[in-house]
Amino acid sequence: MPKKRILIIGGVAAGMKAASRLRRLDSQSEIVVVERSQRFSYGACALPYFVEGLFDDLDEVRQTPAGVTRDEAFFERVKGIKVLSGCEAVEINRQQQRVLVRNLESQSSEYIGYDNLVLATGCRPIMPALPGMELAGVLPLKTMEDAEKIDRFASDAKRAVVVGAGLIGLEMAEALVARGLIVTLLERQGQILDAVVDADLAGLAARELSKQGVDLRLNEGLVSLEGEAGRVCRAVTKSGSYAADLVVMAIGVRPETELAAAAGLRLGESGGILVDPQMRTSDPQIFAAGDCVEVVQLQTGKHLHLPLGSTANRQGRVLADQLGGSSDLFPGVLGTLIVKLFDQSLARTGLSASDATAAGYAAESVLISAPDRVHAYPGVKPVVIRLIADRNSRKLLGAQMAGPGEIAGRINVIVSLLSLNGTVDDLARLDLAYAPPFATAMDPLHQAANALRNKLDGLAASYTPLELQQRRQQLQPMILLDVRSPAEAEQVRIPGAILIPLGQLRERLHELPPDREIVPFCKLSLRGYEAARILLAAGFKKVRYLEGGVIAWPYELETAARQQVA
Amino acid sequence: MPKKRILIIGGVAAGMKAASRLRRLDSQSEIVVVERSQRFSYGACALPYFVEGLFDDLDEVRQTPAGVTRDEAFFERVKGIKVLSGCEAVEINRQQQRVLVRNLESQSSEYIGYDNLVLATGCRPIMPALPGMELAGVLPLKTMEDAEKIDRFASDAKRAVVVGAGLIGLEMAEALVARGLIVTLLERQGQILDAVVDADLAGLAARELSKQGVDLRLNEGLVSLEGEAGRVCRAVTKSGSYAADLVVMAIGVRPETELAAAAGLRLGESGGILVDPQMRTSDPQIFAAGDCVEVVQLQTGKHLHLPLGSTANRQGRVLADQLGGSSDLFPGVLGTLIVKLFDQSLARTGLSASDATAAGYAAESVLISAPDRVHAYPGVKPVVIRLIADRNSRKLLGAQMAGPGEIAGRINVIVSLLSLNGTVDDLARLDLAYAPPFATAMDPLHQAANALRNKLDGLAASYTPLELQQRRQQLQPMILLDVRSPAEAEQVRIPGAILIPLGQLRERLHELPPDREIVPFCKLSLRGYEAARILLAAGFKKVRYLEGGVIAWPYELETAARQQVA
């Protein structure tokens, strides 16, 4: 009996993970990987950090943790996997179970038969058909080749324009600033990370970008690129133009589905290849995984194209189990994302309040600020946490977090609770790890859970920074009440606030008009909430504290010298 | 109608948390706190870091995050809470609902009546009745006064002995080394953190202690202390004696229950005050919280005395809810602990494999090593993770982790899953946050879950470091097979191993005897597992890889020069 052959198209993340796991499960079958590039099995997510100069040799992204380069010989000798690099799959013949493969160097073609086929064709950057896109120095960041080209252009460039303030665009803006370039970041939407985090958290990150020297231009879509002697020199938008001898295009990606579509495999509503939880396509002999497939959002059931290296690896393993006689499922994703932005980080998982409302939940949310460890411990930094839950079931629905403090571990706690339908009360009761170098006695997560419980239980009414800013812009009458100390208020303040330190509030209540809405706040949110409780107990009816305090306020701030901060 | 009065005995963590929360829920009742010390409402967990010199002013431990000292005036003005500091509760009269309180300065006494009484009397360090315990320079670390005394003795001491390698003992050893002292750490048991983490993880931490200059002496119980001119100069054990002009006693704590016991309140099996999930004692008018009560281990139902600042705060809040007309529960703890030890950290939650077996579970466990972020990203450090699950239900039962890499967030993911009865499959499927600065595409937690699934599914057999060491000590015949590269093996190796790099294994199988047990390993555990799969596929029957590889091996290691490391 001839050996069973598993043919895998695409050798970056999902394809190589599937191949490696399958080999460990099945020592007999022939495993063949067809890969267009000469370089494969690499961590594409690390490419921005190569451009930034954080590692010397680009090949580090395709090395094992022990420093061995994952090349053809490595896969042959170590894993027993055959990789046909520099070869492109041209056509799938499902009836005959074979794929036409062209060697890109020799241009010769051959058919390779399969018992099972795996599509791990990935995605490609969207390059819009705008004038000037063909100019030298206009580049996406997707492959190792792209990273090398950007690296070369960056070494003799002075000014770069990055188009698109999504994850890749933000990472590239940081990388290029670190390389000493003057960087303009163009974003068509009114905020960075649109549809990823809420506008107020995005505002905190945008402030960090400005602080680090990135010229962020919101509501600015690219219209055309202009060049000199074939190299880009200028990016043009509707309202302006920006000098640039390097333009990085990062407006998004599309799944690579041409092969699948031509073979009649079903695509999903997001445009990715449709697969079931075993990663099987509409042809039972053909599987797919990674950036070319669409995923299900676990809470809404919506189909999304959300390519991530982590998802690709987990899917590759599930697929290998299916082929290798084991069993596992990839039920979907929560949409967890995290990104480092200079000294800040931003993360999210699950639903935003507006997502949740749209999905039919009675969404309630809260925003808190807190130190990430005991406030006297060296290295302490604030974190800002937004939690979203359903008012009726108290089920957690999502979270968004912003650093500089530690948020990666904390977003993963929410991921865990969302995955098991945990409530805000479950979160408040978690026996989280506590020692002063790592957390506060009440972890910021506990504080967030309790702040949300206070809202759900009718103990607190509040405004998010965004809500308050909108009311101020509408000139709603209110008293913005700063309950910090005079020394704190001297350093930085929210314009228009009046100051009554919390310790004087009980004796100065008569200074406040009983019929006016009062919005107390402090640095974090603790004294602001305390002030709200005091005001309510004293008979004031319209009291809402400002969630997150000064730390989470992404809008205008005044310093002592009345200068605007960012 | 006279105001309701809530009397709270003890003003450190649980007591002040309860008072503050209660005031926010109930603006009317009189809230009175009786506290022995002049200083209260402080974070006792931060005291070792004061001794270490990490902050200038001890008062930082009783400041709010905004820098305000929480003294009597602060509580009166800001919170509307009366604190009687320097006052000791002498006796509870439950029939008359009053407490006899003595002013420690004036020695005058008075009765204070209560509607509800809260006991937050804390715990005190165990000071065994050994010869010399009365000498100057023999000190526990519990209160701010203790910390000040140790600080003073440390400034003119050269050598310190710390007795007890539990959490406080370890933190104090680190603090005193940082102060420039020569430190001996005596531990009666055969490992540090006995009953907290398994012996092999404790061994990794012990190696770090030695590396940092702590003279760790295991199996050494203190017998007596000797002094000169009234100050300690020597700590004596059965087998030796150690010069010391400062001795820190850290062998454990006992709940302060004398008042409660004298009043006839029920104590639990661990010696702490018995409370229900609303923190009510056996007298329905009297509540208790914090280090003086016992807690329930959620998985086993066992009653424990496990005093922690985090637990005290959560209990204080639950208690306040009960008194303030709201409702919440404190169902128990998982026993989560974390400690920083120089450049390492150690954490645990839930059950160890032996705890789990004792509790009737079919416990299976695995140990893995992995980089904590993408291996090419700056600052990457290894983590070691042990996961424990039930073989039948696949429910997670516990975890232990060791740094230097990031473990605080990762142990909290396990805390979350344990709290909601998650399985190892749930863990493997979590949509954890991924970006190269924070994690690997397959997070170490995913790797641990998958390694455990491989064991549960019969794909892998393995030894823990402890198991392998025991078999080697019993001179069991086996081949310890190092599948790393020659360059890696040159740097550091496990004694007695033979080297066949993984890339040569398939062609050198004939060098291995088919009837002998083979134990492959590498730096982490990935190539070791891969080698095991290759050997099994080639017909070798007795194959078990070494969990965690060289990184997690806590026993003897050889360097190139054949010198022992630690």
Residue that is last in its domain, among B206, B236, B251: B251
Q: What residue has token string 């290759």?
A: B534
Instruction: Give the CATH number of the domain where residue B108 resides.
Output: 3.50.50.60
Residue A434 to residue B310, Cβ atoms within 8 A: yes
| Same domain, residue pair B473 and B406 | no
Q: How far apart are the first and last CA of chain B?
A: 71
Provide long-range contacts, Cβ within 8 A and 24+ apart, for B176-183: B176/B51, B176/B246, B176/B248, B177/B212, B177/B213, B177/B214, B177/B342, B178/B52, B178/B53, B179/B51, B179/B52, B179/B53, B179/B154, B179/B155, B181/B154, B181/B157, B181/B246, B182/B158, B182/B213, B182/B215, B183/B159, B183/B213, B183/B214, B183/B215
- Rounded CA-CA distance B394/A114 in Å is 35
| Same domain, residue pair A359 and A440 | yes
| Same domain, residue pair A238 and A260 | no
**Residue in B310, B328, B413 nearest the CB of A416:** B413
- Rounded CA-CA distance A269/B124 in Å is 64
Residue B45 to residue A330, Cβ atoms within 8 A: no
Cβ-proximal residues to B483 (8 Å cutoff; 6+ apart), any chain: B499, B500, B501, B502, B505, B520, B521, B522, B527, B528, B530, B531
Residue A66 to residue B485, Cβ atoms within 8 A: yes
* Residue B75 sits at the chain A interface (C-beta within 8 Å): no
| Same domain, residue pair B218 and B149 | yes
Residue of chain A whose alpha carbon sits nearest to that of B539: A27
Q: What residue has token string 């943790």?
A: A65
pLDDT at A561: 60
For A265-302, the pLDDT digits (tens) are: 999 999 999 999 999 999 999 999 999 999 999 999 99
Residue B46 to residue A345, Cβ atoms within 8 A: no
Give the Cβ contact number of residue A344 at 10 Å: 22
Question: Does any domain span residue B78?
Answer: yes
| Same domain, residue pair B217 and B358 | no
Question: Does any domain span residue B374?
Answer: yes
- Asked whether the beta carbons of B476 and B565 are under 8 A apart, the reply is no
> With the C-alpha atoms ordered A101, A107, A110, A112, is the resulting torsion angle positive or negative?
negative
Cβ-proximal residues to B547 (8 Å cutoff; 6+ apart), any chain: B366, B367, B368, B451, B462, B463, B464, B465, B525
Report residue B275 CA to chain centroid gap.
23
Residue that is last in its domain, among B199, B219, B251: B251
Residue A420 to residue B417, Cβ atoms within 8 A: yes
Share of residues in chain B with pLDDT > 90 (%): 92
| Same domain, residue pair A32 and A82 | yes
Q: Which of residues 266-285 of A touch B (CB under 8 A)?
A: none
Question: What element of type H or E holds B518?
Answer: strand B518-521
- Rounded CA-CA distance A31/A23 in Å is 8
**Residue in B27, B328, B428 nearest the CB of A537:** B27
- Rounded CA-CA distance B418/B355 in Å is 15
**Residue in A27, A49, A459 nearest the CB of B537:** A27
Residue A441 to residue B415, Cβ atoms within 8 A: no
* Mode of pairing for the β-strands spanning A138-140 and A303-304: unpaired
For B22-74, the pLDDT digits (tens) are: 999 999 999 999 999 999 888 889 999 999 999 888 888 888 877 788 899 99
Question: Does any domain span residue A225?
Answer: yes
Instruction: Give the CATH number of the domain where residue A396 resides.
Output: 3.30.390.30
- For residue B45, list chain A residues with Cβ-Cβ distance below 8 A: 374, 434-436, 441
**Residue in B167, B438, B485 nearest the CB of A408:** B438
* Residue B76 sits at the chain A interface (C-beta within 8 Å): no
Give burial (CB, 10 Å; 0-12/13-18/19+) of B118: buried
pLDDT at B335: 97
**Residue in A25, A374, A485 nearest the CB of B43:** A374
| Same domain, residue pair A400 and A412 | yes
Most A CBs within 10 Å, among B308, B322, B416, to test the A interface: B416
- Amino acid type, B376: A
Question: Does any domain span residue A337?
Answer: no
- For residue B449, list chain A residues with Cβ-Cβ distance below 8 A: none
Share of residues in chain B with pLDDT > 70 (%): 99
* Residue A412 sits at the chain B interface (C-beta within 8 Å): yes
- Nearest alpha carbon to residue B201 among B362, B412, B407: B407
Q: Is the pLDDT of residue A206 over 90?
A: yes
Q: Is the pLDDT of residue B563 over 50?
A: no
Residue A25 to residue B419, Cβ atoms within 8 A: no
| Same domain, residue pair B118 and B10 | yes
Question: Does any domain span residue B128?
Answer: no
Q: Is the pLDDT of residue A566 over 70?
A: no
pLDDT at A501: 94
If pLDDT is split at 50, 70 and 90, which confidence band does B566 have? very low
Q: Which of residues 425-484 of A touch B (CB under 8 A)?
A: 425-426, 428-439, 441-443, 446, 450, 457, 459, 484
| Same domain, residue pair A173 and A97 | no
Cβ-proximal residues to A226 (8 Å cutoff; 6+ apart), any chain: A132, A232, A233, A234, A235, A236, A241
- Rounded CA-CA distance B296/B274 in Å is 10
* Residue A349 sits at the chain B interface (C-beta within 8 Å): yes
- Rounded CA-CA distance B414/B443 in Å is 13
Of residues B475 and A31, the one with the higher pLDDT is: A31
* Residue A326 sits at the chain B interface (C-beta within 8 Å): yes
Structure tokens at A206: 């945008």
The distance of B303 to chain A (nearest Cα, Å) reads 16
**3-state secondary structure at position A29:** coil
| Same domain, residue pair B442 and B472 | no
**Residue in B408, B415, B432 nearest the CB of A431:** B415
Question: Does any domain span residue B194?
Answer: yes
Average pLDDT value for residue range A74-83? 93
- Nearest alpha carbon to residue A528 among A538, A536, A520, A517: A520
**Residue in B337, B349, B432 nearest the CB of A412:** B432
- For residue B439, list chain A residues with Cβ-Cβ distance below 8 A: 310, 408
Residue of chain A whose alpha carbon sits nearest to that of B331: A429
* Residue B529 sits at the chain A interface (C-beta within 8 Å): yes
ipTM of this complex: 0.96
- For residue B339, list chain A residues with Cβ-Cβ distance below 8 A: 435
pLDDT at A565: 42
For B333-382, the pLDDT digits (tens) are: 999 999 999 999 999 999 999 999 999 999 999 999 999 999 889 999 99
Q: Which of residues 300-319 of A touch B (CB under 8 A)?
A: 308-314, 317
**3-state secondary structure at position B438:** coil
Rg, Å, chain A Cα set: 27
- Amino acid type, A171: E
pTM of the model: 0.97
Question: Does any domain span residue A503?
Answer: yes
If pLDDT is split at 50, 70 and 90, which confidence band does A105 have? very high
Residue A419 to residue B411, Cβ atoms within 8 A: no
Report residue B210 CA to chain centroid gap.
19
Residue of chain B whose alpha carbon sits nearest to that of A21: B530
Question: What element of type H or E holds B232?
Answer: strand B231-237
Facing residues of A514 across strands?
A: none
* Residue B525 sits at the chain A interface (C-beta within 8 Å): no
Give the Cβ contact number of residue A151 at 10 Å: 17
- For residue A404, say if its preceding peptide bond is cis, omega within 30 degrees of 0: yes
- Asked whether the beta carbons of A81 and A7 are under 8 A apart, the reply is no
Residue of chain A whose alpha carbon sits nearest to that of B445: A412
> What are the angstrom distances between the C-alpha of A447 and each of A384, A464, A522?
11, 16, 16
| Total domains, chain B | 4
Q: What residue has token string 């999210």?
A: A348
For B75-99, the pLDDT digits (tens) are: 999 899 999 999 999 999 999 999 9
Report residue A275 CA to chain centroid gap.
23
The distance of B63 to chain A (nearest Cα, Å) reads 9
Structure tokens at B397: 């039962």
- If phi > 0 it is left, if psi is from -120 to 50 it is alpha, else beta; for residue A252 that is left
Three-state helix/strand/coil letters over A409-439: HHHHHHHHHHHCCCEHHHHHHCCCCCCCCCC
| Same domain, residue pair B270 and B318 | yes
Q: Which of residues 171-230 of B touch A (CB under 8 A)?
A: none
For B380-417, the pLDDT digits (tens) are: 999 999 999 999 999 999 999 999 999 999 999 999 99
Instruction: Give the CATH number of the domain where residue A482 resides.
Output: 3.40.250.10
> With the C-alpha atoms ordered A242, A245, A246, A252, is the resulting torsion angle positive or negative?
positive
The distance of A10 to chain B (nearest Cα, Å) reads 18
* Residue B336 sits at the chain A interface (C-beta within 8 Å): yes
**Residue in A65, A331, A529 nearest the CB of B429:** A331
- For residue A447, list chain B residues with Cβ-Cβ distance below 8 A: none
Q: Is the pLDDT of residue A216 over 70?
A: yes
- For residue B311, list chain A residues with Cβ-Cβ distance below 8 A: 431
The distance of A45 to chain B (nearest Cα, Å) reads 7
Average pLDDT value for residue range A312-335? 96
| Same domain, residue pair A473 and A502 | yes
Residue that is last in its domain, among B426, B456, B486: B456
pLDDT at B565: 42
Instruction: State the DSSP code for B74.
Output: H
Average pLDDT value for residue range A538-542? 94
> What are the angstrom distances between the C-alpha of A302 and each of A227, A257, A270, A309, A411?
42, 20, 9, 20, 22
If pLDDT is split at 50, 70 and 90, which confidence band does A374 have? very high
Question: Does any domain span residue B268?
Answer: yes
Range of the domain at B522: 462-559
